[in-house]
Amino acid sequence: MPHDVQAAPRSRRPRNTLTVEAILDAAETVAALGFESLTIRAVATELGASPMALYRYFGTKGELVDALLNRVLGRFRPPPESGDWISELRGFARRHRELLNRHPWAIGALIGHPYPGPNALPIGETALRILGRGGIAGDGAVATFSGIIALNYGWSSFVTARGGDGHAPDPLPPAPPEYPLSLAAAASLAGYGSAAHYERVLDQLLAGVEAAAAEQARDTPLR
């Protein structure tokens, strides 16, 4: 009679071959399948190592999560300087949203923990520097920066939850007759959550920012 065929056990990783980068690579692979599945044990399994071996590098799951999110934020690249601060601010917003779209598994974690490490600082610094060139500083700059970030997190969360990439992944059901305005907007609602709609909202937000900067410049007395 044939013997039962059993899967070969996964080989263990040789001792002393782990690195922080290797652990983070494995953690990202696990997180991409669902952030809720990210545990020290799951990462160790992905690496073919023992959980205790990982604790030499990350004392807790929280430390591992912080390092992974900090790594994601470190991939942000600021827009090139163009001499047009509004265009640069638009480029900043787009690049930040693209970063989130490339790492949908990290969006929820970053919303709840926006400062996992020092790589968060250059993002804010970039936005504040651009706004400063437009004459916006202090509360106005921080509010504008946070508004752009909130738009991106909200939009990216919405699109990710619908399983799309910003190009209207799922059509909405038709509105019943008792909602005539929604019924009349059916064609536009086909683009609900789309990248084109994001650009339109971003344009409106930046138009308001530019108008506020111009008004502030008019009201600032010359010295």
Structure confidence by residue, pLDDT tens digits, 87-128: 999 999 999 999 999 999 999 999 999 899 999 999 999 999
φ, ψ at 95 (rounded to 5°): -70, -35
Nearest to 26 by CA among 9, 13, 16, 15: 13
Structure tokens that stand for 58 in this block? 């990350």
Structure tokens that stand for 181 in this block? 């305005």
Q: Identify the pLDDT of residue 12.
A: 61
pTM: 0.86
Q: Identify the pLDDT of residue 140.
A: 95
Is pLDDT above 90 for 214?
yes
Q: Identify the pLDDT of residue 5.
A: 43
Alpha carbon 163 to its chain's center: 15
Cβ pair 136, 212 in contact under 8 A: yes
Cβ pair 28, 37 in contact under 8 A: no
Share of the chain above pLDDT 70, in %: 87
Average pLDDT over residues 39-63: 96
Cβ pair 65, 109 in contact under 8 A: yes
Q: Identify the pLDDT of residue 1.
A: 47
CA atoms of 141 and 138, how far apart (whole Å): 5
Cβ pair 162, 193 in contact under 8 A: yes
Cβ pair 67, 117 in contact under 8 A: yes
Q: What are the tens digits of pLDDT across the range 143-170?
A: 999 999 999 999 999 888 877 654 545 6
